[in-house]
């Protein structure tokens, strides 16, 4: 399951980080700090998301 988690985390992390960066840019937060914080927040949110998805896929 850990291998599946890593694969899903790679995809989910990039997707959520990209979405968070786009959201920050939409709110006119063009400074470097806001973009980095949005990217890190996206990658951190992806951890439980990837874990839950991998767990559900393993159970199926």
| Segments of the chain with pLDDT less than 70 | none
Measured distance CA(34)–CA(59) in Å, rounded: 38
The separation between the first and the last C-alpha atoms of the chain, rounded to the nearest angstrom, is 12
Question: The pTM is what?
Answer: 0.90
What does the alpha-carbon distance between residue 22 and residue 8 come to, in Å, rounded to a whole number? 21
Supply the pLDDT for residue 60. Answer: 79
Structure confidence at residue 56 (pLDDT): 96
- 30 close to 38: Cβ distance less than 8 angstroms: no
Integer-rounded Cα Rg, in Å, for the chain is 13
pLDDT (0 to 100) of residue 42: 97
Distance CA 29, CA 40 (A): 15
């Amino acid at each position: 399951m850990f291998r599946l988690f890593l694969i899903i985390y790679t995809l989910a992390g990039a997707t959520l980080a990209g979405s968070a960066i786009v959201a920050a840019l939409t709110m006119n937060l063009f400074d470097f700090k806001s973009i980095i914080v949005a990217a890190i927040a996206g990658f951190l949110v992806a951890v439980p998301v990837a874990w839950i998805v991998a767990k559900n896929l393993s159970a199926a």
